[in-house]
Amino acid sequence: MNESTLGQGLFITFEGIDFCGKSTQARLFAQYLQDQGHTTLTLRDPGSSAISERIRAILLDLSHKEMSSYTELLLYEAARAQMVEQMIRPALSSGQLVVCDRFFDSTTAYQGYGRELDLAVIRQANELGSCGLTPHITFLIDLEPELALKRRRKSNRLKDRMEAEGLDFQNRVRNGFMTIAHENPQRIMVLRGDQSIQEIQQQIRLGFERVYNDQGRSL
């Protein structure tokens, strides 16, 4: 555990490239936790607070083609800082389980490995944007960008500014996520995204129960 000051709360994040299935899994997992009787807060990064949602709209707007990589980085961090201070810290302090769709690993993967900004700069920016908060457990859903593209074609979701990047970019992001997972084996659990929704969810629950029970808690 990284923060003994956070009451009994747990901060759980879901990561991966677009269309890997992380929102689906985060939603099912949050529902499962609620069904177990836990007070659970479900969030998305960037977003969730009113200010962060407005920053999200700026970030994902396809017409903002001129946005510099550093502006992008700082806006992600600004949105995150607001969400952490306003929503996550209070929830953790009161013992809630917080489930978040993306967090700072996405910044490392997209702005660091995808946009190829200096990883040392990204680390500092992440420290600031997360206000020093690290997830207790992170589920990374790994999927080939080609398969993600097939899922996108089947869906009617409009592309946003990050999703509009090509396959090379998505491959760098995917490999970036795997490097991050390799560097943080105690925090990040990698799941194969080409399995069924139910299989992935089952593995997430088992992985979570292991971490939870290791801390002497019971579900």
Which of 6, 10, 12, 20: binder of ligand ADP (CB under 6 A)? 20
* DSSP string across 136-167: SEEEEEE--HHHHHHHHHHS-PPP-TTTTS-H
How many helices (H) and strands (E) would you count in the chain?
9, 5
Cβ 79 to ligand ADP, closest distance in Å?
Answer: 17
Closer CB to ligand ADP, 125 or 180, in the complex: 180
Does 200 participate in binding ligand ADP (rule CB under 6 A)?
A: yes
Residues within window 137-196 making contact with ligand ADP, judged by CB under 6 A = 151, 155, 196
Does 197 participate in binding ligand ADP (rule CB under 6 A)?
A: yes
Closest residue by beta carbon to ligand ADP: 21
Closer CB to ligand ADP, 89 or 107, in the complex: 107
Does 218 participate in binding ligand ADP (rule CB under 6 A)?
A: no
Alpha-carbon gap, residue 40 to 97, rounded angstroms: 5
CA-CA distances (angstroms) from residue 164 to 99, 157, 158?
26, 12, 10
Closer CB to ligand ADP, 9 or 170, in the complex: 170
- Show Cβ contacts of residue 105 under 8 Å, excluding neighbours closer than 6 positions: 13, 15, 138, 140, 177, 180, 188
Q: Which residue has the tokens 């579900």?
A: 219
Closer CB to ligand ADP, 64 or 192, in the complex: 192
Cβ 205 to ligand ADP, closest distance in Å?
Answer: 15
